[in-house]
Amino acid sequence: MDIDIFNGDADGIAALQQLRLAEPRRSVLVSGVKRDIRLLDKVVAMADHSGARLTVLDISMATNNEPLVTLLKDNCQVFYADHHHPGAIPKHSSLTCHIDPDPEICTGLIINRLLAGRFPGWGVVAAFGDNLHDSADHLGKTAQFSGREMGMLRELGELLNYNGYGKEVADLHFDPVTLFQEIQPYQNPLEFYAASDALATLRQGFHDDMAQARAVEPEAQQDTGRIYIFPCLPWARRTAGVFSNERAREEPDKAHALLVDDGQGGYVVSVRAPLNRKKGALDLCQAFATGGGRAAAAGINKLPAALVQEFTTAFFTAFKR
Ligand SMILES: [Mn+2]
């Protein structure tokens, strides 16, 4: 059995897209909302996973270490590509790793490199999805996409990324597995762009949601950063990532934090380090119990309401110049 496990955002989808164009497989697909990263638990829970061939994309190995070790013990062959800090990588002859935590790299770019640039359009989509505009532009130049084409690839990356945000799959316009299946026939993302009805749905949803998000004023701000708070509503959960990226680009010298009310006495927090100095987000978030991520972009899965003040102080201290 072949099982493809991928993060439900643009990067995860575009990484798998390149691999399956290069090597088609009739695989079982496992994904979830962008924040649902401990996806290997779902594979362990499959009764017939022993001996399966697994492809794992764009989910932190540190977070998945325990189920990964179980799967290797159960004779699975694992191909693993990702750009989050992996923690201790298990030593096992059945594990192939392509992990690069460089802040200018995403999983779709790792796969593009591995395939020697066979499907660069999907690499560009992945990079735009992860807000890596310099890397996207660089690859776009190499592949000789026009300015107009780059604009379409950027919108595609941002809309696929937007679709991944939510607390559960029900919050999303499309299950990432369905979206991947829609995309799968297209070697060239520009053809998908022109043909897809799903994309039209995402575009309309995005515009409606972002109008609400953009009306929110900062809760706190200093020279070094801005903090926003969103209510417990589906539009807030769906726009969280794109809104944070947009604000980060608007003020590239500032750090940004977005707290989304989880309706259960806490907040889901995402932190972006200043784009011009991609450091400090992970250290800040790791100081809280459910924090994790990368130096450039990190988060806290549940920040109790009682700790919002403490977080605010720590945020402005962390990014002081
Ligand atoms: Mn990624």
The per-residue pLDDT for range 47-65, each reduced to its tens digit, is 999 999 999 999 999 999 9
CA of 114 to the centre of ligand 1 (A): 16
pLDDT of residue 70: 98
List the CATH number of the domain containing 261: 3.10.310.30
Residues 283 and 182 in one domain: no
Residue whose token pair is 């100095």: 277
Q: Is the dihedral of CA 295, 298, 302, 303 positive or negative?
A: positive
pLDDT of residue 104: 95
**Nearest CA-CA partner of 256 in 267, 265, 247:** 247
Beta pairing class for 2-6 and 53-57: parallel
Alpha-carbon distance of 28 to 48, in angstroms, equals: 12
Alpha-carbon distance of 43 to 297, in angstroms, equals: 27
CA of 281 to the centre of ligand 1 (A): 16
CA of 306 to the centre of ligand 1 (A): 31
pLDDT of residue 241: 82
DSSP structure class, residue 305: G
pLDDT of residue 48: 95
- Looking at 146, 177, 203, the residue that finishes a domain is 203
**Nearest CA-CA partner of 251 in 274, 273, 268:** 274
CA of 8 to the centre of ligand 1 (A): 10
Q: What angle (nearest 5°) sits at the alpha carbon of residue 123, between those of residues 149 and 32?
A: 115
pLDDT of residue 28: 98
The distance of Cα 70 from the centroid of its chain, to the nearest Å, equals: 25
Burial class (CB in 10 A: 0-12, 13-18, 19+), 21: middle
CA of 225 to the centre of ligand 1 (A): 24
The verdict on residue 213 lying in a domain is no
| Boundaries of domain holding 127 | 2-203
- Looking at 203, 230, 249, the residue that finishes a domain is 203
Which residues partner with 261 through β-bridges?
267
CA of 168 to the centre of ligand 1 (A): 19
Alpha-carbon distance of 256 to 73, in angstroms, equals: 41
Residue whose token pair is 């030593």: 91
The distance of Cα 127 from the centroid of its chain, to the nearest Å, equals: 10
CA of 161 to the centre of ligand 1 (A): 10
CA of 217 to the centre of ligand 1 (A): 28
**80 close to 61: Cβ distance less than 8 angstroms:** yes
CA of 321 to the centre of ligand 1 (A): 28
Does this model's pTM top 0.75? My answer is yes
**Nearest CA-CA partner of 229 in 266, 278, 188:** 266
Residues 158 and 25 in one domain: yes
DSSP structure class, residue 98: E
The verdict on residue 215 lying in a domain is no
CA of 204 to the centre of ligand 1 (A): 24
Residues with CB under 5 A from ligand 1 (ion): 11, 58, 106, 130
Tens-level pLDDT at each residue, the chain (321 residues): 999 999 999 999 999 999 999 999 999 999 999 989 999 999 999 999 999 999 999 999 999 999 999 999 999 999 999 999 999 999 999 999 999 999 999 999 999 999 999 999 999 999 999 989 999 999 999 999 999 999 999 999 999 999 999 889 999 999 999 999 999 999 999 999 999 999 999 999 999 999 999 999 999 999 999 999 999 999 999 998 889 989 999 999 999 999 999 999 999 999 999 999 999 999 999 999 999 988 999 999 999 999 999 999 999 999 997
CA of 142 to the centre of ligand 1 (A): 21
CA of 213 to the centre of ligand 1 (A): 23
CA of 12 to the centre of ligand 1 (A): 6
- Looking at 152, 169, 203, the residue that finishes a domain is 203
**143 close to 121: Cβ distance less than 8 angstroms:** yes
Residues 179 and 286 in one domain: no
Three-state DSSP at 97 gives strand
The number of beta carbons lying within 10 Å of the beta carbon of residue 316 is 18
CA of 137 to the centre of ligand 1 (A): 17
The verdict on residue 208 lying in a domain is no
CA of 250 to the centre of ligand 1 (A): 21
CA of 100 to the centre of ligand 1 (A): 11
Residues 276 and 303 in one domain: yes
Return contacts of 109-115, CB within 8 angstroms, 24+ apart: 109/135, 109/139, 110/15, 110/81, 110/82, 110/83, 111/15, 111/18, 111/19, 111/57, 111/81, 112/18, 112/139, 114/81, 115/18, 115/19, 115/22
**153 close to 121: Cβ distance less than 8 angstroms:** yes
pLDDT of residue 167: 86
List the CATH number of the domain containing 19: 3.90.1640
CA of 180 to the centre of ligand 1 (A): 15
